[in-house]
Structure 1
Amino acid sequence: MRRRLLSGASALLAASILASCGSAEPPQPAPDEVPETAPPALDSARLSTILEEIGESLDAADAELDPELLGDRVIGPARETRTREYRLVEASDGEVEPTAIDTTASLAATGISEDWPRNAMVITEIPEEENLPLLLTLTQDDVHSPYALWGFTTLFPGVEYPAMARPEVGSPSVAADAGDLVATPEEVLERYAHVVADPDSEFASDFADDPYLELAVRDQVEDLQEAAGESATVGTLARKLNVDPRSVETADGGAIVVGQFRWVLSVDRTDEPGDLELSGIFDYLADDTSVTFQMQAVFDTTMAFHVPAADAEDSAIVPLGASDVLVEVRRDDGEDADDAAQG
C-alpha cells in the first residue's frame, strides 16, 4: 500500500488566517536623526517617511527575490522571514508568494524610552487582494541606526487590538523581563511554544483560543495522522527562539508583545508495513518525500500577543496575529528526533 499525505492546512498555507509585493530601485536610507533625550513619539510625518522607505526596500527586494536589497530598513525576524519566503517562491515555482505587506499605517503606537531599542507598532491598511491587516513592529536598535521593520504578523479576523497607553505622546516600551505582567514577554513566548508542542501543557489555560494554534497546528496534525493511519505518528515540537521580543505598554497596564518561536511538524514511521509518502509543503524543500523513519517540516513563527497586567481581572493572554515561514524539511533515516527543534 502506498500512502501520499497532503499537508493542506499547514501554517505556511493556512490562507484563512495568514497572509506578495512589487518592484523599485533599492533605497539608501540614512540613520534617522535622534535627539540626545528620548522624544515623546515619532510624529506622523517622520513615521510616514520611515514606512515609505521600508516599503521601497521591500519592493526592490521582492522584484529580484534578493534579500540583500532589503538594506538596513528590514532586520531581525522580518528579514529572516522574507529571505526564506524568497527561497520558497523559487522552490515552488511561484506557487508560494511572499506575504503581502502594505506599509500604509491605519493606526500607530510609538514607544517612548531613553534607552534602546526603541519600538513602534503599526497596524497597516489591508494589503491589495488580501482581507486582513498586518501588525508591523519597528525597531531602532541604537542612536546610529534607522528605524527598521523588525517583524510582521497578520492580525486574526475580528481581533480587538487594545488601546495604547498614551496615544497622544507615545507608549512606553516594555522590557523582555518586565515583571508587572501576568508573564514576562520572554515567558509568553516560552509558554506558547510549550502549548504548540503539547495540547495538554500546563500553560494551555494561560492563553485565549486562537486560529493559528487551531488551524495551522492542531488541524494539520490531525489531518496528517488520519491520512497516515497506523503507518506513522504525527506530532509537534517547539521552542522559543533566542530573539528578544519587542513590546509596548497598553492603556490597561498590559503590553503588546511580539516575538518568535520555532515549531516542528514531525511524521515518524511505525512498524506498520507499506509505503508512506508526503506531499504539500514537504515537496517544496525535499527531493525525496518517502518516509522510512522520519520527516519533519520546520517553521519559524512571528506572533503578537496582548499580555494583561499582573493584577488584571482577566488574566488570559490573547494571541493577536501570526505569520510563519517554512525554514526547512528534514529527512531522518534513524536519528533521535528529540533534538529536532534545536536546529
Structure 2
Amino acid sequence: MRRLDVSSPARRRGAACLVAVGVVSVLLAGCTVEPPAPAPDAPAIAAVVSEGQERDILDAVATSIAQHDKASAADGLRARMTGHALSMREAELRLAEATGDEKWRTDLSMRTQQIILPSDQSWPRTSYAVQAQPDNAETPALMVFDQASAREQYKLWGYVSLVPGVSLPPFAQPELGSAAVAPDDDTSLARSPQAALAGYAEVLSKDADAKAAGAFDDDRLRQNLRTLATSQTSVADWAETKGKYSYTAEVEPSQGLRAVRTADGGALVLGALTGTQAIEVGQEGAKIRTDALPSAQQALFGDQEETNRLRTRYRDFVALYVPSAGSAHKITLVGFRHIPIDVSGE
C-alpha cells in the first residue's frame, strides 16, 4: 500500500513514481518463465476512458461546482453531480452558510496527483481521482465519478477527505484500467464490499463491542466519535441528570456503493452511512442546554424549544480498503466525510 504524502510536493511526486514502479514490479514478478499466449479471441485489457478524456471530465465538473457554490444555487449542481456527492454538497453549502464557517465546504478543485480509470465495458462506468494537495490545510480529496449510461455525462458521485498519513493501495496503471468489484464478491476479498460497509457501520455504532471489530483497524472517524461522546457526557452533573448517550450508524442503500480492484487483489470500497446521535436526560424538569453544543449543532437546532432529548443526524461517506482473501491485513478506513445535517428535540 502507498503512503500518501500531504506535506511536500517533491515527496508526493516521488511517491507517485514509486506507485508506478510498484505496480510494474507486481506485473513482472516471476517472468523468467514465458507466459502462455492469450487465446485468439481474448479481449485486450485497457481502460475504456483515456487520460485526456478524464481530464476533460474533471474540468467540466470543476467548472460546474465553481458556478454553483452557494446554497441558493445548489440546484445547478445536478448537471455534474449525483448520488452521495450531490446530497453531501447540498448539506455542506447549507451548513457553511448557517455557521459562517468555510471548513464545512470541501475543496473540490480538480488538480490531481492520481487517476484510476475503468476497464469495464458495461455501464455504469466509474473512475476515481486523488486530488493534489489543496492550498489550504485540508488533506486531498478522493473523488468518484459515474457515467450511468453511454448517453449520459460523467458526474461526481461521491467524495471523501483522505485520512492524514493514510496508505492508499496500489492500482493498475491508468492506461490498463481497473476493474469494478461486485458488491457481493466474498470470494476474492476478506469481506464482500457489502459486508465490509455493514461491518463498519456496526463498528461505528458499538466500537470495540461490535462483532466485526476485530476485522477493522482503529481509525480517525472512530476516534472522533469517542471524543464527541466524551465532550457531551463529561459535564459535572451528567450522572445526576440520569443522562443517556448513544450513536448508531446504518448503511444508506439508496445510491448503492462502488468498489474497484486494487493491484494487490484487494478492493477500494466507497459508500454512504447515516449516523444518529441521541442524548437524553431523565431527571424530572431537566433540559439539554443547546448553547453548550458545538456550533454546527447549534446552527441546525435554531430556535427550537429546549427539551430533555436531542437527536442529531449525520451524513457520512467513507472509503475502505478491503484486503484480498487470506490476507493478514485488516480493513482500513482511508477517507471519510462526516457532517451533521439535522438537529431536533425529538
Q: Which residue of 2 aligns with 1:186?
A: 194
Q: 2:275, 2:314 within 8 Å by CA — same for their partners in 1?
A: yes
Write the letter of the residue equivalent to 1:306: Y
Alignment partner of 1:311 is 2:326: yes
Q: Distance in 2 between matches of 1:236 and 1:63?
A: 31
Q: 1:306, 1:318 within 8 Å by CA — same for their partners in 2?
A: yes
**What whole-Å deviation, never above 9, does each CA across 1:106-157 have from its counterpart, x for those lacking one?**
1011121122111111110122212411101111111111111111100011
2:234 aligned counterpart, secondary structure: helix
Distance 1:172 1:198, change over 3 A: same
Q: Distance in 2 between matches of 1:294 and 1:51?
A: 44
Q: 1:119, 1:139 within 8 Å by CA — same for their partners in 2?
A: yes
* Structure of higher CA gyration radius: 2
**What whole-Å deviation, never above 9, does each CA across 1:184-214 have from its counterpart, x for those lacking one?**
1111111111111112110111111111111
2:53 aligned counterpart, secondary structure: helix
Q: Distance in 1 between matches of 2:102 and 2:260?
A: 36
Q: 1:164, 1:249 within 8 Å by CA — same for their partners in 2?
A: yes
Q: 2:281, 2:287 within 8 Å by CA — same for their partners in 1?
A: no
How far 1:282 moved relative to its partner?
2.0
Distance 1:167 1:44, change over 3 A: closer
Distance 1:293 1:105, change over 3 A: same
Distance 1:63 1:265, change over 3 A: closer
Write the letter of the residue equivalent to 2:251: K
Q: 1:66, 1:86 within 8 Å by CA — same for their partners in 2?
A: no
1:17-28 paired onto structure 2 within 5 Å: none
Q: 1:246, 1:259 within 8 Å by CA — same for their partners in 2?
A: yes
Alignment partner of 1:198 is 2:206: yes
Write the letter of the residue equivalent to 2:195: E
Q: Distance in 1 between matches of 2:168 and 2:56?
A: 24
Distance 1:270 1:291, change over 3 A: farther
CA-based RMSD = 2.0
Q: Which residue of 2 aligns with 1:14?
A: none
Q: Distance in 1 between matches of 2:127 and 2:184?
A: 18
Distance 1:274 1:330, change over 3 A: closer
1:288-307 paired onto structure 2 within 5 Å: 288=303, 291-307=306-322
Structure with the bigger percentage of strand: 1
Count of aligned residue pairs for this structure pair: 294
- Structure 1 runs (4+) deviating above 3 angstroms are 93-97, 165-168, 272-275, 288-291
How far 1:42 moved relative to its partner?
2.1
Q: Which residue of 1 aligns with 2:143?
A: 136
Q: Which residue of 2 aligns with 1:286?
A: 301
Q: 1:186, 1:244 within 8 Å by CA — same for their partners in 2?
A: no
Q: Which residue of 1 aligns with 2:226?
A: 218
- Aligned match of 1:229 in 235, 238, 245? 238
Return 5+ residue gaps in structure 2 as ranges.
1-43
Q: Distance in 1 between matches of 2:66 and 2:196?
A: 33
How far 1:219 moved relative to its partner?
1.0
Write the letter of the residue equivalent to 2:252: L
Greater alpha carbon shift after TM alignment, 289-298 vs 206-215: 289-298
Structure with the bigger percentage of helix: 2
Q: Distance in 2 between matches of 1:56 and 1:270?
A: 51
Alignment partner of 1:175 is 2:182: yes
Q: Distance in 1 between matches of 2:147 and 2:93?
A: 25
1:24-103 paired onto structure 2 within 5 Å: 40-63=47-70, 65-94=72-101, 97-103=104-110
Return 5+ residue gaps in structure 1 as ranges.
1-36, 333-343
Write the letter of the residue equivalent to 2:131: T
Write the letter of the residue equivalent to 1:213: R
Write the letter of the residue equivalent to 1:143: A
Write the letter of the residue equivalent to 1:310: A
Percentage of matched positions with identical amino acids: 25
- Aligned match of 1:244 in 225, 235, 256? 256
1:67 aligned counterpart, secondary structure: helix
1:270 aligned counterpart, secondary structure: coil
TM-score (norm 1): 0.80
TM-score (norm 2): 0.80
